[in-house]
Chains A and B, each alone.
Chain A
Amino acid sequence: MTALATPTSFSAIEAALAHLSDPEIPVVSLKELGILRGVREGSDGVAEVVITPTYSGCPAMGQIEDDVVAALKAIDAKARVVTQLTPAWTTDWMSEIAREKLRAYGIAPPQCGSVSEAGHGTVKFSRHAVRAETVPCPQCSSLNTTEVSSFGSTACKAQYRCLDCMEPFDYFKPY
């Protein structure tokens, strides 16, 4: 790649994007969440910043794209943002550091891989069988928690409650 085709180096672009976070979960970066997939060279030589959506209808994606564009503009980078669906985003990409940050912020990180969820041909529901995963309370680490609702304040989270410290908390669902 020539200096002419890419006036701003990939590493400079990556550095400029490193501080960007999900507008709804400000403690983890887009990179740590797996939303920012990387920087590559497009077929016309222009740098492409690849992002992948989390949930299909996640309203934060528009904001995230705007944030990336603004960060690129701030360093005068000649690059465009490309949204890529494949491979589909999964919470498995979340690093251990990101999980720890979520926990410290009060959001319980995903407790099982998306594969075990997807392993069933279909989801089998039984009111006698509780969900496979036990979600530890991010406040007091108790395992004595219960699901209040499988849908929460954002598409990616469920609502839980700790039965020991009685605090409600968000759970980042395996996806």
Chain B
Amino acid sequence: MGAPANTNANAPADYLLHLADNALVLGQRNAEWCGHGPILEEDLAMANNSLDLIGQARMLYQHAASLINADDEAGERFKHLQGARVDGQVTDDTLAYFRDTAEFRCHTLLELPHHGPLVGYANSERDYSVTLTRNFLYSALMALVWQRLQTSADPQLAGIAAKSLKETRYHLSHSSDWLVRLGDGTEESHQRAQAALDHLLPYCEAFWLPGHAAEEAALANGTGVCVSELRDDWNAIVNETLSEATLQRNDTQPHVGYVAQGHLGVHSEHLGFLLAEMQSLARAHPQGVW
């Protein structure tokens, strides 16, 4: 790891929003366990996990908002958010609560509900193995991403990365720990963890999809990290834990079929419901405070 860059470049706002949306949407999703955790300790763990993620999202949104407010062209693009506040400023809150589904740039993986694939109007209980498997797959990626972003040419982003890395390592350790217990546990827990893995792994293919314009712009000015170059490292982390968990990787390589594109704005049907729940209060009471 090199010394922190002492340049003063700014990461593109869209890149910051991609990172922020990832953190916010998973934070909101995981917060659904608050008060419903399988055991008290896990209820607390998931609330802490959400707190970290939403805190990371907030810092990223604040940075993005200051860049948007200082740039006329970007300001024009986010003009529709100005009505949310009397002073017309874009803020962390307006970016989180007043953008619509298609404007979010989070990975589809992070917006999926806490259960396996369902058909039609089928209903299901939340399955904690889906939660843990997703946290594992995502934090394995982010531990690598934040580590590299510590030397981003954008000092503010580098600062956020240094904090987020510490938290992400705890998330990775927590989810790996449980994945091994579930995978190498009872027949029931193994079967559920395997089903969660089979369901979620194909969505990870989106991490490596080329043509991510925001990331390319961030790479061009030295503020971003090339995620597709992290693939081998990610595979190594994932495979090591899965082998200890006695779980099988059933994703075929190279991947065949559709690749989820939430980070490009094409989302599953689940994000809209998540945002509706999260945003309705702020939209009903704009500028409301505690």
Contacts and interface: CB of A to CB of B under 8 A. Distances in A.
A2 interface: no
A89 interface: yes
Nearest to A154: B48
Given A56-B58, A123-B173, A127-B181, A151 B53 contact: no
Interface residues of A, number: 31
A42 interface: no
Given A57-B55, A57-B56, A151-B48, A123 B164 contact: no
A58 B158 contact: no
A157 B233 CA distance: 29
Contacts of B45: 149-151
B173 A150 contact: yes
Contacts of B156: 85
Interface size class of B (residues with CB under 8 A): 35 or more
Given A122-B140, A125-B173, A56 B159 contact: no
A97 interface: no
B286 to A, nearest CB: 20
Contacts of A55: 51-52, 55, 163, 167
Interface in B32-68: 41-42, 44-45, 47-56, 58-59
Given A118-B165, A123-B143, A126-B180, 9 more contacts: A56-B164, A88-B159, A117-B169, A122-B144, A122-B233, A125-B180, A150-B173, A153-B44, A173-B170
Interface of B: 4, 41-42, 44-45, 47-56, 58-59, 140, 143-144, 147, 155-156, 158-160, 162-167, 169-170, 172-174, 176-177, 180-181, 184, 233, 237, 240-241, 244
Interface of A: 53, 55-59, 85-89, 114, 117-118, 121-127, 148-153, 155, 159, 173, 175
